[in-house]
Amino acid sequence: MNTIFKGSLRGYVCEDCREFISNVDVLLYLPYKETRLPDSPANAKDAFHVVTKEEAEQRKGLLIDKKTTDINGDFEFEINERYLNSDFDIDFVCGSVPPKHPKPKREELVQFHITTLAMKSELEKQAQDQNSRWNYTIAHKWWCYIRGHFFDAWVICGHLMNCKTNKPIANATVTAMDADFLTDDTLGAATTDANGHFRIDYSAADFKKTFLSPWINVETDPNFLSFESGPDVYFKAELAGTKLIDETKADARKNVGYCLCVNLCSEIAVTRPEETFPSAWSGIGNAFSSSYGTGIHDFDVNGFAGSGKNVLFSTIRLTGQAALKSASGYPIEYRFRVSHTTDLNTAASLPEANFTKTVGVTPGLFVKSTVSKLSRIVPAPLLNEIFVESDQSDFDPEGWFDVNHAIERTLISVGLTPADLALYNVIEEDTLISLDTTTLTTEPNVPNIFNAGQIVPDANKIDMEKIAIRFEIREVINKASNDFGVIGGDGKTLNSIVINNNPIYKKLAIKELEDSTLCSPITGIIHLKYTLYHPYLSTCSLTIKKNSDTDETYINDGVIDNPVLVDQRTNASSEINNPPTMARCTYIVRLYSSTRKHNGDYGDSDGSWPEEQLFFYNG
């Protein structure tokens, strides 16, 4: 009478990422103790290893049966009763690996010895429990080697979580990139499941692409002098258009192996409406924190932002996160207030009474922006993503902003009801409120009365302006009876922020054209005259380009390229061809400049349009 032996074969890609090994042949042998190869280790019958051709030939007569695993990696053997007390050697022949690699790189199939099994005890377990099955999971180092070496099957398994709460982020798209010296390759993308888990399968062809692909493929490692064969992997992730992970090649994991196991975390909160988390004002845009410190994103003691000593201009996004409800279950409101009285950022927070202007109350301060986003948990034909934009109606008379009102107002505007919020995850868009700093600027621009080459006198220069910002947050227990609770994060203050909304004062002229007419051909030594002024002047440069050339040539006169951070660059007689000589042609001179103005997301574009001067040189 025969007895059924049930088994299952799986492989570890990562510790929490296993896969069924389907469509492979499992081989059942009598043990080969007496026929072990002379150079085999003593425990060869138990150790997982590649079966050589010699070993396979030697054991050929010991083969009892062969079965093919199903889609779940399961197989079954009928064991003849005369073998019930025997040990068995179990091998498998790998003809494919999941999920889409049907052929090995080599022509011959590869055989592996799994283990030696005491069949009697295993059959006794299965006799007692009909659902019992012998399970074998191939270790990570072996299974990844088999997948990659023999099948060119590379895989990334990972999780995407929230950095603060460690809760999984579902339905996000994670993209894996390979950092290359020439162009970065996309290895693949996947959507996270309810546990934040994702898996990306790829092959070497995906990271060996060149501009000559598919004819010529090679891994062009950005560190090409230390060339390795594996990709340098970094990640992007987004949900409903919101960037959750935005790594660059500087963050790349160098020369990864066949299997990469990663845990990614995002600062962006993706939560259910009823969930709570700590609320805080943490930054200004993407570039700066909202705190004093020595980090590259922090404000310094005097109110300059980041390592570049930037000043804030235009509309700034006051960023952070605020839950819809407090830990006690009450709705949350917050507001931002501004003071023109400032202090060093190392001093104690300024008194509340100094903050006399409030966003949403003081005219001109509030700017509409996306403050939240709703992402449908189960996708539907319409309204899978809903952007929640702040509106003046979301503020009360004291400037308290009600994000719950903003969400309910938005749901109604698209034809839904507040009850439909249960169908969505809430993505905190990072923006709490947007503030227009131009309303707070009082310094006049430099009057347009100075010619190129003239110095802007101190009387017409722009003085420094500073503000302080205070963040307040509360839980609304009963608004009708003025019953409010204070929660963590309330009163966060930045004592000193330098702001500026004045343009660069810039003038450019050619002396020889001023001495004649702007249309006259000129000869001899050419003298440039220029004036650049801004209290936070940054980079400056002069270039010249011949009409027949495509590239500009830099002019360094010892003034324009001064590396010192001064507020003015002025020259009334900058020679541009003594040497070099100039040919008979039309030329264009450009005066470039920039400031340290920044709004937390991008720098001032004032310097993007240079001052220009055309002239014809007659040789």
Least confident of 24-28, 163-167, 241-245: 163-167
Q: Give me the residues paired with residue 42 across strands.
A: none
**pLDDT score at 106:** 56
Pick from 309, 279, 226, 293: which is nearest to 489 by CA?
Answer: 279
Residue-wise pLDDT for 453-486, tens only, equals 999 999 999 999 999 999 999 999 999 999 999 9
Sign of the torsion formed by the C-alpha atoms of 528, 501, 288 and 321: negative
C-alpha to C-alpha distance for 235 and 159, rounded to whole angstroms: 12
Interatomic CA distance for residues 433 and 335, integer angstroms: 8
Domain range for 580 is 505-617
Asked if residue 28 and residue 105 are part of one domain, the reply reads: yes
Give the pLDDT band of residue 320 (cuts 50, 70, 90). Answer: very high
Average pLDDT over residues 394-413: 97
- The predicted-structure confidence for 261-287, as pLDDT tens digits, reads as follows 999 999 888 888 888 888 899 999 999
Are residues 398 and 472 both part of a single domain? yes
> Quick one: pLDDT band at residue 212, thresholds 50, 70, 90?
very low
Cβ count within 10 A of residue 306: 19
Mean pLDDT confidence for 540-544: 92
How far apart are alpha carbons 185 and 178 in whole angstroms? 5
Task: From 106, 140, 174, give the residue that closes a domain.
Answer: 140
Collapsed DSSP state (helix, strand, coil) of residue 277: coil
- Determine the 3-state secondary structure of 391 from DSSP: coil
At residue 100's C-alpha, the angle toward residues 98 and 102, to 5°, is: 90
User: Is pLDDT of 215 > 50?
Assistant: no
Are residues 341 and 358 located together in one domain of the fold? yes
Q: Please, is 549 exposed, middle or buried when counting C-beta atoms within 10 Å of its C-beta (0-12, 13-18, 19+)?
A: exposed
Same domain, yes or no: 35 and 51? yes
Residue 100: pLDDT band (50, 70, 90) is low
Q: What is the CATH number of the domain that holds 602?
A: 2.60.40
CB 235 within 8 A of CB 264: yes
Residue 39 has pLDDT above 80, yes or no: no
Confidence bin at 609 (pLDDT 50/70/90): confident
Number of domains making up the chain = 4
My answer on whether 127 and 162 are in the same domain is: no
pLDDT of residue 272: 82
Q: Check whether residue 559 and residue 475 sit in a common domain.
A: no
DSSP, collapsed to helix, strand or coil, labels residue 460 as: helix
Helices (H) and strands (E) in the chain, counts: 7, 40
Question: Using an 8 Å Cβ cutoff, are 322 and 473 in contact?
Answer: yes
- Report the amino acid identity of residue 116: T
| Chosen domain end from 474, 499, 524 | 499
280-284 sheet: strands from edge to edge: 288-289, 280-284, 315-321, 431-436, 366-367
What's the pLDDT band for 101 if we cut at 50, 70, 90? low
* Residue 404 or 96, more confident: 404
Question: Is 147 within 8 Å of 12 (Cβ atoms)?
Answer: no
Give the pLDDT mean for 190-207: 91
CA distance 472 to 214: 58
Average of per-residue pLDDT across 22-32: 90
Q: With a cut of 70, say whether residue 40 has pLDDT above it.
A: no
Please provide the DSSP assignment of 301-365 as one string: TTS-BTTTTBEE-SEEEEEEE--SB-TTS-BEEEEEEEES----TTSPPPPGGG--EETTTSTT-
